[in-house]
C-alpha cells in the first residue's frame, strides 16, 4: 500500500505519552488533545498562540470542554481527527469498513504517541482489539504553517474491507461560509460560495483522475472572507484518482473539513497483515486566501524536487499546427521560436504510429514512419542545435481501439468483462496495473527519451475512467491505476535525471499535490483565451505557485472561444505563470515579432521574482476589475497587473489600493508596456502618475492609485521598485 509511515526518525515508542501537545510553525498553532486513550482531537487549529506551558494548555483544554447535549451520549461528543460513531459522532465516520457486514464500528484506543523532538510531527498508534484493527495517524505541521495528516489502517484479523478512510480537521463557529470550485473542460476552477449550514457539503470526484471540476481547495471562512481579509481554513486531498472532500456541520454545532480517497467497490480488501494508507490531507489556515496560498506555495517551494532552474519559455505546437506535422514546417517554427527567445520546444500530439487524427494510434509509442520518414531525431537535433530543450507529448494511460496495442492486447484495456467500454474522445484506458502493459509503456517512453535526448514530457490523460475494470476479473482499478502512474513517473525520473514532466489532463484535469510529487508543471487549462485564463489562473494559484502553472500566449483569436484579444492582454495574462507560446509564429510581421520578443524579455527579467515572490490578489470592490501581482520576498520590488474583465457602470474606474508592500518603504511606480504601448482612443486620458511617481507602501496600500483607463479585456502592468 502507498504512503506507509516512515518511523526511522521518531522517538522510541516507550517515550512518555504527552497529554496536550502544541505544534507551532509559520504563524500557526495546532493544539492536540491526547488525554485519555481516545484518538487525537484538535482543540485549536489557527493563529499562533505563543509558547504555551503545560498549565496554560490544560487551562485551554478546560476552558473549551464541550457540554453534554440533551438526548445525546452521556459524554461530550467531540470529533477526533478520525471521528468514530462508537463515540457518538453522527457525521461522516473517519473509517468505514467491515468484515462481511460485521465489525463496522471501530473504537480505537491509543497505544503510543511518538513525537519527533526535532520537528512538529506526531505519530499516533492505536488499536481496536475487538475488531482486530491497527491504526497509525501522522500529523505534521510544516514549516510554513501548513498542516498535513494521513492515516493508515492495518488489518490484524480475517479479511477486512475498507470503504473509506477520511481524516478530518475541525473548524470553529467563525467558519460560516464555504468557497469551493466547479469546472469543466476549458473552464476549470470556477468559484462558488454558499453558507456553511448544517449537513454535509460533499465534493466527490469519480473521474479516475483528479477532474476538471475538482475543487482544488475546499475553504471555509468568516462571512465574506476575501483574499486579504477574514479568517479561513482550507483543505486539499493530495490524490490523483477518485477522491472526496467534505465540509460538514452537525447538530452539535461542530464543523469539520475532511478528505480522502474515494474507493470503488472492493478496491481495498485487506488480508491479515495488510494495510491501507490514505493520501495526505493538507490543511491551510490564513487571514484571507492569500495567506492560505502563501503557506501552500512556501511549502511546495521548499521541497527538494521543486523546479529551481528558471522556468523556460515554451513553444508548444498544439494550437500552432495540431496534427499537421512535417519536418520542414516544424523546423521553421522552431527557428521562429528561437528568434523570439523561446527556450523549450514541445512537439504535441500527432507524432506516433498512425496518429494522423485523434481516433488512432494512442498506445503505440513509436514514431510514425509516414509523417516522420526520417524519425524524430532530425527535429530533436535541430531544436537542440538552436539551443532549445526538446519536449514530447505522450498519453501513456490511453489506447485507441485503432492501435496495434488494442489489437494485440485487448486484455490490457480497463473494461468490464464481455462489454465494450464507452469511448470517450475516441479512446479507452490502458490498465497500468497489468505488469506487461506497464513494462511495454515505460520501455517505449524511456527508449525515446534516450534516443531523442528528450528534456521534457507533456504527460496527458484525456478521458475519465468510468468503467475501469481489470481483466479478466472485472475488479475496480482506479486505486491501483493511480499508484501505477505515480510509480511510472518516479521510475522515469530515476532513469532520466533532469527530465521534467508536465501533468496535463485535457488541461487542468490532473492538478493536485499527489501528482506534483512526481511532476514539474501543470497544464492549467486547454483554454488559452486570456479572459478565461484570468479566472482560471487566479483560482488555480490559490493552491499552486505561478512557476508550476503552464500559461501560454495563444493566437490573436482564441481557438476555444473565438474571442479576439490584443497581444498585450494575452501576454500580460500568461506572464503570471510558466510562460509559453501556443500559436503559429512562423509568419509573424516584424512588428509583431518584436513585440512578442519584448514580452518574452520582460518575463525573463522578472521570472526570478514572479516564481519566488509572494502572490497578492487584491480584493478590489469593482468585480469588473481584477488586480493581482507578485511582491519580491524582501519586498523591494513588485509587479502588478490591473485587469479589466468587463466594462463598469461608472467611469472613470476610481482608485486601486495595492497590497503586500512594505508600508515603510518608498516605491517608484512605473507603468510598463513591453509591446510598445497601447493605442489609445480619443477618450482615453492618461493618469497623472503615468510618467512615474514615488509613493510609500503605506500610501499605495491605504490610499491607492488612480486606475488608468482600461477598455474591457485590457490590462496594464505596473512595476514598483523600492527607492533607497
Point out which span in 489-497, 503-511, 569-577, 621-629 binds ligand GLA (CB under 6 A): 503-511
Residue with cell 516512515: 6
Tell me how far, at minimum, the Cβ of 500 lies from ligand GLA, in Å.
Answer: 16
Binding mask 30-69 for ligand GLA (x = CB under 6 A): ----------------------------------------
Which CB sits closer to ligand GLA, 282 or 390?
A: 390
Which CB sits closer to ligand GLA, 22 or 462?
A: 462
* Size of the residue set binding ligand GLA (CB under 6 A): 11
Contact residue for ligand GLA among 136, 455, 520, 526 (CB under 6 A): 526
Which CB sits closer to ligand GLA, 282 or 393?
A: 393
Contact residue for ligand GLA among 393, 412, 583, 603 (CB under 6 A): 393
* 500 touching ligand GLA, by CB under 6 A: no
The grid cell for 700 is 499605495
Tell me how far, at minimum, the Cβ of 43 lies from ligand GLA, in Å.
Answer: 45
The grid cell for 691 is 510618467
Which CB sits closer to ligand GLA, 348 or 467?
A: 348
Which CB sits closer to ligand GLA, 176 or 348?
A: 348
Which CB sits closer to ligand GLA, 349 or 512?
A: 349
Residue 296: which H helix or E strand, with range?
helix 289-302
Contact residue for ligand GLA among 33, 261, 368, 460 (CB under 6 A): 460
Nearest to 667 by CA among 698, 639, 695, 689: 695
CA distances (Å), 117 to each of 27, 46, 514, 523, in order? 19, 22, 27, 39
Tell me how far, at minimum, the Cβ of 154 lies from ligand GLA, in Å.
Answer: 40
Which CB sits closer to ligand GLA, 362 or 699?
A: 362
> How far from chain centre, in Å, is Cα 305?
15
Which CB sits closer to ligand GLA, 348 or 455?
A: 348
Which CB sits closer to ligand GLA, 430 or 701?
A: 430
Tell me how far, at minimum, the Cβ of 519 lies from ligand GLA, in Å.
Answer: 14
Residue with cell 509587479: 639
- Asked about 460 being catalytic, the answer comes back as yes
Nearest to 670 by CA among 710, 708, 644, 635: 708
Tell me how far, at minimum, the Cβ of 358 lies from ligand GLA, in Å.
Answer: 6
Q: Which residues contact 292 (CB under 8 A, 6 or more apart)?
A: 217, 219, 232, 234, 284, 285, 286, 542
* 523 touching ligand GLA, by CB under 6 A: yes
Bridge partners (DSSP) of residue 617 are: 628
* 396 touching ligand GLA, by CB under 6 A: no
Contact residue for ligand GLA among 462, 527, 578, 598 (CB under 6 A): 462
Q: Are strands 500-503 and 521-523 parallel, antiparallel or unpaired?
A: parallel
Contact residue for ligand GLA among 507, 545, 697, 708 (CB under 6 A): 507
Which CB sits closer to ligand GLA, 45 or 318?
A: 318
Tell me how far, at minimum, the Cβ of 523 lies from ligand GLA, in Å.
Answer: 6
For the residues of 26-68, what is the DSSP string, one character each? TTEEEEEE--TTSPPEEEEEEE------HHHHHHHHHHTPPPP
Tell me how far, at minimum, the Cβ of 373 lies from ligand GLA, in Å.
Answer: 23
Point out which span in 89-97, 325-333, 501-509, 626-634 binds ligand GLA (CB under 6 A): 501-509
- Asked about 326 being catalytic, the answer comes back as no
The grid cell for 317 is 505546437
Indicate which residue of 467, 526, 529, 584 is catalytic. Answer: 526
Tell me how far, at minimum, the Cβ of 316 lies from ligand GLA, in Å.
Answer: 7
Binding mask 312-331 for ligand GLA (x = CB under 6 A): ------x-------------
The grid cell for 61 is 483544554
Nearest to 22 by CA among 7, 6, 42, 38: 42
CA–CA distance, 529 with 464 (Å, rounded to integer): 24
Which CB sits closer to ligand GLA, 268 or 462?
A: 462
Tell me how far, at minimum, the Cβ of 492 lies from ligand GLA, in Å.
Answer: 18
Tell me how far, at minimum, the Cβ of 425 lies from ligand GLA, in Å.
Answer: 8
Indicate which residue of 431, 460, 467, 512 is catalytic. Answer: 460
> How far from chain centre, in Å, is Cα 323?
29
Interactions with ligand GLA, residue window 187-246 (CB under 6 A): none
Bridge partners (DSSP) of residue 102 are: 99
Point out which span in 223-231, 234-242, 499-507, 604-612 binds ligand GLA (CB under 6 A): 499-507
* 504 touching ligand GLA, by CB under 6 A: yes
DSSP-based three-state secondary structure for 276: strand
Tell me how far, at minimum, the Cβ of 346 lies from ligand GLA, in Å.
Answer: 9
In the complex, which residue's CB is closest to ligand GLA? 349
* 348 touching ligand GLA, by CB under 6 A: yes
Q: Which long-range contacts (CB under 8 A, 24 or more apart) does 309-313 make?
A: 310/604, 310/607, 310/608, 310/611, 311/521, 311/547, 311/578, 311/579, 311/607, 311/611, 312/343, 312/344, 312/389, 313/341, 313/342, 313/343, 313/344, 313/579, 313/580, 313/581, 313/600, 313/603, 313/604
Contact residue for ligand GLA among 33, 231, 261, 349 (CB under 6 A): 349
Q: What is the DSSP letter of 430?
A: B
Which CB sits closer to ligand GLA, 505 or 598?
A: 505
CA distances (Å), 675 to each of 51, 601, 628, 709, 716, in order? 53, 11, 20, 18, 11
Contact 507, 526 (CB under 8 A): yes
CA–CA distance, 512 with 240 (Å, rounded to integer): 6
Point out which span in 35-43, 235-243, 504-512, 540-548 binds ligand GLA (CB under 6 A): 504-512
> How far from chain centre, in Å, is Cα 290?
15
Whole-angstrom Cα Rg for the chain: 27
Tell me how far, at minimum, the Cβ of 557 lies from ligand GLA, in Å.
Answer: 18
Contact 474, 417 (CB under 8 A): yes
Nearest to 625 by CA among 493, 532, 508, 714: 714
Contact 414, 463 (CB under 8 A): no
Give the interface with ligand GLA as residue ranges (CB under 6 A).
318, 348-349, 393, 460, 462, 504, 506-507, 523, 526
**Catalytic positions:** 460, 526
Amino acid at each position: 500500500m502507498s504512503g506507509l509511515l516512515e518511523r526511522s526518525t521518531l522517538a522510541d515508542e516507550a517515550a512518555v505519552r504527552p497529554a496536550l501537545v502544541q505544534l507551532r510553525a509559520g504563524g500557526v498553532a495546532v493544539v492536540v488533545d491526547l488525554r485519555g486513550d481516545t484518538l487525537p482531537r484538535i482543540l485549536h487549529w489557527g493563529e499562533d498562540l505563543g509558547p504555551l506551558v503545560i498549565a496554560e494548555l490544560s487551562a485551554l483544554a478546560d476552558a473549551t470542554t464541550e457540554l453534554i447535549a440533551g438526548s445525546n451520549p452521556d459524554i461530550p461528543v467531540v470529533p477526533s481527527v478520525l471521528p468514530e460513531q462508537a463515540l457518538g459522532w453522527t457525521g461522516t465516520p473517519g473509517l468505514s469498513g467491515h468484515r462481511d457486514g460485521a465489525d463496522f464500528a471501530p473504537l480505537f484506543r491509543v497505544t503510543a504517541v511518538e513525537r519527533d523532538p526535532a520537528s512538529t510531527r506526531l505519530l499516533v498508534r492505536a488499536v481496536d482489539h475487538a475488531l482486530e484493527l491497527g491504526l497509525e495517524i501522522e500529523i505534521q505541521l510544516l514549516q510554513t504553517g501548513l498542516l498535513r495528516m494521513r492515516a493508515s489502517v492495518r488489518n490484524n484479523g480475517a479479511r477486512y474491507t475498507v470503504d473509506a478512510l477520511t481524516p478530518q480537521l475541525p473548524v470553529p463557529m467563525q467558519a460560516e461560509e464555504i468557497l469551493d470550485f466547479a469546472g469543466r473542460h476549458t473552464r476549470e476552477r470556477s468559484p462558488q460560495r454558499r453558507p456553511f449550514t448544517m449537513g454535509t457539503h460533499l465534493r466527490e470526484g469519480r473521474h479516475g483522475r483528479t477532474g476538471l471540476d475538482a475543487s482544488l481547495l475546499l475553504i471555509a471562512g468568516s462571512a465574506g472572507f476575501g483574499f486579504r481579509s477574514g479568517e479561513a481554513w482550507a483543505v486539499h486531498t493530495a490524490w490523483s484518482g477518485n477522491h472526496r472532500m467534505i465540509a460538514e456541520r452537525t447538530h452539535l454545532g461542530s464543523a469539520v473539513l475532511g478528505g480522502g480517497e474515494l474507493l470503488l467497490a472492493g478496491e481495498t480488501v485487506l488480508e491479515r497483515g495488510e494495510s491501507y494508507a490514505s493520501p495526505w490531507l493538507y490543511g491551510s489556515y490564513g487571514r484571507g486566501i492569500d495567506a492560505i496560498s502563501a503557506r501552500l506555495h512556501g511549502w511546495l517551494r521548499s521541497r527538494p524536487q521543486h523546479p529551481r532552474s528558471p522556468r523556460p519559455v515554451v513553444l508548444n505546437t498544439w494550437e500552432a499546427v495540431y496534427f499537421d506535422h512535417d519536418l520542414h514546417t516544424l523546423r521553421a517554427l522552431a527557428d521562429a521560436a528561437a528568434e523570439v527567445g523561446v527556450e523549450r520546444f514541445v512537439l504535441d500530439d500527432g507524432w506516433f504510429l498512425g496518429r494522423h487524427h485523434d481516433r488512432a494510434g494512442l498506445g503505440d509509442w513509436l514514431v510514425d514512419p509516414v509523417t516522420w520518414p526520417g524519425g524524430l531525431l532530425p527535429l530533436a537535433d535541430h531544436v537542440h542545435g538552436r539551443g532549445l530543450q526538446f519536449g514530447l507529448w505522450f498519453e501513456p494511460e490511453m489506447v485507441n481501439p485503432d492501435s496495434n496495442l488494442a489489437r494485440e492486447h485487448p486484455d490490457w484495456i480497463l473494461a468490464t468483462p464481455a462489454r465494450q467500454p464507452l469511448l470517450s474522445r475516441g479512446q479507452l484506458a490502458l490498465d497500468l496495473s497489468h505488469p506487461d502493459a506497464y513494462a511495454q509503456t515505460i520501455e517505449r517512453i524511456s527508449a525515446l527519451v534516450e534516443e531523442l535526448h528528450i528534456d521534457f514530457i507533456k504527460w496527458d490523460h484525456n478521458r475519465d475512467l468510468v468503467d475501469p475494470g481489470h481483466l479478466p476479473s472485472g475488479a475496480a482499478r482506479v486505486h491501483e491505476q493511480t499508484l501505477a502512474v505515480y510509480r511510472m513517473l518516479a521510475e522515469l525520473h530515476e532513469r532520466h535525471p533532469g527530465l521534467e514532466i508536465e501533468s496535463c489532463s485535457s488541461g487542468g484535469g490532473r492538478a493536485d499535490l499527489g501528482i506534483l510529487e512526481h511532476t514539474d508543471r501543470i497544464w492549467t487549462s486547454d483554454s488559452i483565451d486570456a479572459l478565461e485564463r484570468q479566472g482560471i489562473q487566479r483560482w488555480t494559484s490559490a493552491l499552486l505557485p505561478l512557476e508550476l502553472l503552464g500559461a501560454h500566449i495563444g493566437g490573436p483569436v482564441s481557438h476555444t472561444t473565438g474571442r479576439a484579444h490584443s497581444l498585450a492582454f494575452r501576454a500580460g495574462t500568461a506572464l503570471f505563470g510558466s510562460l509559453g507560446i501556443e500559436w503559429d509564429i512562423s509568419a509573424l510581421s516584424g512588428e509583431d515579432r518584436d513585440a512578442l520578443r519584448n514580452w518574452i524579455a520582460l518575463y525573463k527579467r522578472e521570472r526570478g521574482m514572479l516564481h519566488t515572490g509572494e502572490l497578492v490578489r487584491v480584493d478590489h470592490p469593482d468585480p469588473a476589475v481584477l488586480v493581482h501581482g507578485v511582491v519580491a520576498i524582501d519586498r523591494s520590488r513588485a509587479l502588478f497587473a490591473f485587469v479589466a474583465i468587463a466594462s463598469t457602470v461608472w467611469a472613470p474606474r476610481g482608485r486601486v489600493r495595492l497590497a503586500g508592500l512594505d508600508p515603510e518603504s518608498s516605491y517608484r511606480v512605473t507603468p510598463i508596456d513591453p509591446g510598445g504601448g497601447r493605442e489609445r482612443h480619443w477618450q482615453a486620458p492618461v493618469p497623472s502618475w503615468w510618467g512615474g511617481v514615488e509613493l510609500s507602501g503605506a500610501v499605495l496600500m491605504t490610499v491607492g492609485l488612480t486606475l488608468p483607463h482600461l477598455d474591457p479585456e485590457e490590462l496594464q502592468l505596473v512595476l514598483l521598485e523600492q527607492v533607497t
